[in-house]
């Protein structure tokens, strides 16, 4: 029988991924002044050893004040390259590929790691005594996320221009570290989302107001990044397809604007749009179903293709079985069904990003391969433990 699409290669510019699985970026709140540590080597290495084609490193801030917590990864200075390169080299030694998510946390910066908060969630301000920078938090407009978060400052035009330059410099450093691809983090209520949304962006200059103005910062950063990375290197962007604020009746960042943005991305040199949602407002009303984000990805994919544009789509959210992953990317007419079997028979995405399942099961891809009856690369050293025939 034919290999399921999920175990077929995906080509992005000169990068070939051996299958359609990626480790979705996950902050581990374990860096040392922005430098990754042995924890990250073992954590990321464990997944890369076990069949996942692309490992995307956690949100990595391009400036010190763009970290979510004092323990976040950074790439604002050259000394941060070597610890990243060590892990990238290891991933390459396993025949797999590495990506890095470059980020700025905007008004959600300077918070403590989740395990230091009372409800084990995000969002308690990290004070200066805790290593935070609550007096130097940036946002498009001086509006807090919620009472426990720091009070942000409205960015000046020179702050914005400096940030674009910081992204370009961090992207150059990522190239030096050997990464195969870069993802710009424009999702989850961090700085870019804050600029995209008319709820959080109340600016009256060229960075606020119209769709063109609200997308300007992201577009400028995409252009600046594309300008410093090799032509052969693919560029990824993650967005929140909706901020789930339609219920307010106010204008918000929604699917229609995400589709409008998606259609512009190929001409800016973006190869893949990674579709997430939510995170920009404490009052969001997210529709939580296992397929909601997969369906958003599918709608964007259809709209972009209908417009004749070439943009690959990544889907993420609640993927925890081989069968769900298989259905999301399956092309052709073999066994094509929607994840929940209700929304018609359509390919939803080209790449499946998985976060929490990899924390529980770093060998998720190995098991999926076994269940779907295909072979993936895994360590030579582990050969004697090959899955027994018939074992699931
Ligand atoms: C995340 N997520 C996340 N997203 C992102 O774009 N950058 C990041 O650094 C992080 N950090 C992070 C840490 C941890 C511990 C978790 C669990 C999640 C979100 C993640 O990439 C993914 O989009 C969601 O978790 C949904 O996918 P799963 O977990 O349902 O597969």
Residue 49 has pLDDT above 70, yes or no: yes
d(CA 10, CA 6): 9
Q: Is the ipTM of this complex over 0.85?
A: yes
Coil, strand or helix: which one is 268? helix
User: Cβ neighbours of residue 45 under 8 Å, at least 6 residues apart?
Assistant: 87, 90, 91, 94
Pocket around ligand 1 at a 6 A CB cut-off:
24-27, 58-59, 101, 185, 187-188, 238, 276, 316-319, 354-357
Residue numbers annotated as active site: 190
Residue 340 has pLDDT above 70, yes or no: no
Residue reference for tokens 């895994």: 378
d(CA 63, CA 3): 44
Q: How many A from CA of 252 to the centre of ligand 1?
A: 23
Using CA positions, which residue lies closest to atom 22 of ligand 1? 355
Q: Is 52 left (phi over 0), alpha (psi -120 to 50) or beta?
A: beta
What mean pLDDT, rounded, does the chain reach? 94
Question: Phi, psi (5° rounding) for residue 235?
Answer: -120, 130
Give the model's pLDDT for residue 343.
45
Segment 284-298, tens digit of pLDDT:
999 889 999 999 999
Residue 304 has pLDDT above 80, yes or no: yes
Give the model's pLDDT for residue 137.
98
Give the model's pLDDT for residue 336.
47
User: Cβ neighbours of residue 92 under 8 Å, at least 6 residues apart?
Assistant: 98, 178
Using CA positions, which residue lies closest to atom 15 of ligand 1? 26
Average pLDDT over residues 169-194: 98
Using CA positions, which residue lies closest to atom 13 of ligand 1? 26
Coil, strand or helix: which one is 23? strand
Residue 391 has pLDDT above 70, yes or no: no
Please choose from 355, 356, 360 the residue to mutate so as to test ligand 1's pocket, defined by most ligand atoms within 8 A of CB.
355
pLDDT-derived band at 117 (thresholds 50, 70, 90) equals confident
DSSP label of 75: -
Residue 335 has pLDDT above 70, yes or no: no
Residue 338 has pLDDT above 60, yes or no: no
Give the model's pLDDT for residue 2.
84
**CA-to-CA dists, residue 31 to 87, 108, 324, 381, angstroms:** 13, 18, 33, 30
- Taking each continuous run of H as one helix and of E as one strand, the counts in the chain are 11, 13
């Amino acid at each position: 029988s034919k290999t399921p699409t999920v175990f077929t290669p995906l080509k992005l510019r000169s990068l070939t991924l051996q299958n359609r699985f990626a480790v979705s970026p996950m902050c581990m709140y374990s860096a040392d002044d922005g430098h990754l540590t042995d924890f990250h080597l073992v954590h990321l290495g464990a997944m890369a050893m076990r069949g996942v084609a692309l490992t995307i490193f956690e949100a990595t801030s391009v400036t010190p004040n763009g970290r979510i917590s004092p323990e976040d990864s950074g790439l604002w200075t050259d000394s941060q390259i070597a610890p990243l390169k060590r892990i990238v080299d290891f991933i390459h030694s396993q025949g797999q590929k590495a990506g890095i998510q470059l980020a700025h946390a905007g008004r959600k910066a300077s918070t403590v790691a989740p395990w230091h908060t009372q409800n084990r969630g995000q969002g308690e301000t990290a004070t200066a005594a805790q290593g935070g920078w609550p007096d130097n938090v940036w946002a498009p407009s001086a509006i807090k996320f919620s009472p426990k978060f720091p009070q942000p400052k409205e960015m000046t035009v020179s702050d914005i221009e400096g940030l674009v330059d910081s992204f370009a410099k961090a992207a150059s450093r990522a190239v030096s570290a050997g990464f195969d691809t870069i993802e710009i983090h424009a999702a989850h209520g961090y700085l870019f989302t804050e600029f995209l949304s008319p709820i959080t962006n109340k600016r009256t200059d060229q960075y606020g107001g119209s769709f063109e103005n609200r997308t300007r910062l992201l577009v400028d950063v995409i252009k600046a990044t594309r300008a410093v990375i090799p032509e052969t290197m693919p560029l990824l962007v993650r967005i929140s397809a909706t901020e789930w604020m339609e219920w307010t009746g106010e204008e918000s960042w929604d699917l229609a604007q995400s589709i409008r943005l998606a259609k512009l991305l190929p001409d800016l040199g973006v190869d893949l749009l990674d579709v997430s949602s939510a995170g920009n407002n404490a009052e969001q009303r997210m529709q939580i179903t296992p397929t909601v984000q997969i369906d958003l990805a599918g709608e964007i994919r259809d709209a972009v293709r209908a417009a004749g544009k070439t943009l690959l789509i990544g889907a993420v959210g609640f993927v925890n079985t081989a069968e769900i992953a298989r259905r999301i990317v399956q092309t052709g007419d073999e066994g094509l069904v929607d994840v929940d079997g209700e929304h018609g028979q359509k390919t939803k995405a080209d790449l499946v990003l998985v976060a929490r399942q990899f924390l529980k099961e770093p060998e998720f891809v190995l098991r999926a391969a076994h269940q779907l009856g295909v072979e993936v690369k895994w360590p030579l050293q582990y050969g004697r433990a090959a899955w027994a025939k018939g074992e699931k």
